[in-house]
Structure 1
Amino acid sequence: MTFNVAAIRAQFPILSREIDGKPLVYLDNAATTQKPQCVIDALVDYYSTCNSNVHRGAHRLADEATTRYEGARDTVATFINAAARDEVIWTSGTTEAINIVAHGLGQQLTSTDEVLVTEMEHHANIVTWQQACKVSGATLKVAPIFDTGELDYDAFVALLNERTKLVAFPHVSNSLGTVNPIQKMTRAAKAVGAWVLVDGAQGIAHGGVDVQSIGCDFYAFSGHKMFGPTGIGVLWGRQSLLAEWPVWQTGGEMISEVSYQSAKWNTLPYRLEAGTPNIAGAIGFGAAIEWFAALDLPGLQAHERSLLDYATARAADCEGMRVVGTAPAKSGVLSFLLDGGHPADIGFLLDRQGVAIRTGHHCAEPLMNRLGVPGTARASFSIYTDLSEIDALFTALEKVKSMLA
């Protein structure tokens, strides 16, 4: 069966918008995805029919809100093949999820330990470990990449040793689209006894994430990158680790007993979820996952590959255009430069034609420095992107080139 892009697009109200009288061409999906009507409906329905705080409520609204909220946790656990629902910790997004691990790790590292990351990290997967190492005196190591944006796997393995306490790397590079061999990397890290955290912010929306198959210890991702609301995310971790992990924040919900002298922490998952949670966000994210899980996964993945192949071929024929990031394994990201044009100017001129992209260093400044560029213009695709939108991008780029000439 052919993947029906038109039927998917019809479920996203915002895609019918116009910008300055031109149809919106939304190519900024690596920053955030748009939301299908079912997710919008789930948010409205919660606030309209059962808005209440969750847990311990002695009334119907609280019971209904709790059922939906905890049901969303079950949906996430099933989607990523978690061993138990208690391994799913709600967070505000990928950044907070990584910070929970880094905060706890900083209390366990010693001056003889090492943390290993790669040259393609988002700032959230660099600065967190910098701080953990600063607190503990541990050393942060960085595995190199090739000029194509592909990981130098041999160099990565060479940096692993008995001092490596944790290895953190992205499933997919947000700025280049490089897809890392995360199972292979995880096996290598586990062979030296290291914990493994995968930054799944860019990987989760492409489906097929199975934390058991990956073999990692932590997998972090955000709702808004996968057709869900902003302000909600997940830290998945192995139950044996999370049950003893140092608490992230203290307050309500995460305690089981409190006196003026001491406190005892709650059981998982609540011991790592302090305060009133983002109830609506969790419910909306659950709706997004249910919607996504019902799609034809092989079909949508084939569609995404065809989009990247087509855009890459168009880029090869576009005079003065240089693609940044040409690893053999990529997702739907096309980072590029144009002769004579600053990325910010390219983005502005494209916006005037209704084409939405992202420009800058994409929260990956060390990576841009490694590649010798000030930043890039980045077009990123999703399952609702169609080939006509890629044509619209390149038509608009021709006009941009004439303006920059």
Structure 2
Amino acid sequence: MSRLVEINFDGIIGPSHNYSGLSLGNIASSTNAGATAYPREAALQGIAKMRHNMELGLAQGFFMPLDRPNSGWLESLGTTIADAEPHLRAAAFSASSMWAANASTVSPAPDAPDGKCHLTVANLQTMPHRSHEWPGTLAQLQLAFADSSHFAVHAPVPSPFGDEGAANHMRLCSPHDAPGVEIFVYGKSGGPFPARQHFEASKAVARKHGLHEDRVIFAQQAETAIAAGAFHNDVVAVANERVLFTHEQAFEQPAALYEAIRDKLPEVEIIIVPADRVSLADAIKSYLFNAQLVTLPDGAGMALILPSEARENEAVWGYLTDMVAGNGPIRRLCPVDVRQSMANGGGPACLRLRVVADPATVDERFMATPDKLDAVAKVVTDHWPEAISPDQLSGPELTRIIGSARHRLLVACSLGELAD
């Protein structure tokens, strides 16, 4: 009998992790542009987060870093790693696939008429450094979720409709293995910054997945939130089972959205963080909402797996401690150190893709165990570069080191067919 649980698939942070400031509208990325990055430390922090989640009793998977630098993409632009302009070279080196929340949009089997879990790979076309990710990501999704009796993996939505995957998608249900309400969050304008998720892309994904219109909501992200640096919805809101945890200024028409949600899922609990307790700026700086809101085993309630930066913000931590002291559904706060990812604009929620499925139906090579994470950590410790500054990207030796490191990881995880 199928056992549907939520599995978090984390992107292993790749050996080319660097701070080139490529993501317009991402405050952390822009602020740290040009700084020295520490790929080895970054990947080990990500592995530690996965271990932490497994110790909580959560199902955990992982995805491989993509082949970087992407010389084929540069060739399609008529240049090479050695000759490319700095901004194109940096885009080719980007390790941004580590943020698996942008890998795809996922509709679990209980939501789909055909009883399959549907995944549509995101095209990420708004940002050049991410626009060339999808072929490599699609190859992994097709491998990890190859069982066609349980999964359907779809090609990306075509241009010009930008799709950013699960970072702009939420699912409410009671519980995970019950039919849910899927909320697709799109943007229209972000002032000085681009709105990355197009309405037409969201509608296309819902159609691809065969979702019934009675179980789908399309909501506009607040323009003020995008302009403040909430480049994805998951920077200002997160959902889990029957709980929506959101900032007061996350959505353009919040009252109408909340009414629509309550109409479709009467048991929903909506926790609205008021701006007079936590400002939009503090929410974005601390990545309060870019947390993993998870259901703990054995009726222990829900936990927020937060970046440690949230604990360091007085307003944020004050609100959170008051919240968990009450009788609400979120009972536990779990700070984790993902500072290397945070400095490039991605918190705990960015690093994972949530898939409700039976773990036994997933290619076991993508499922984490303590021993597998030990093997991954050894490869990272032995072969990931200790430090990378943006001015090193033109050197052929770094390209060789990065390629060799990734190859060793693929071998260690028995995923050589992803070697390209």
Normalised to the residue count of structure 1, the TM-score between the two structures is 0.25
Normalised to the residue count of structure 2, the TM-score between the two structures is 0.24
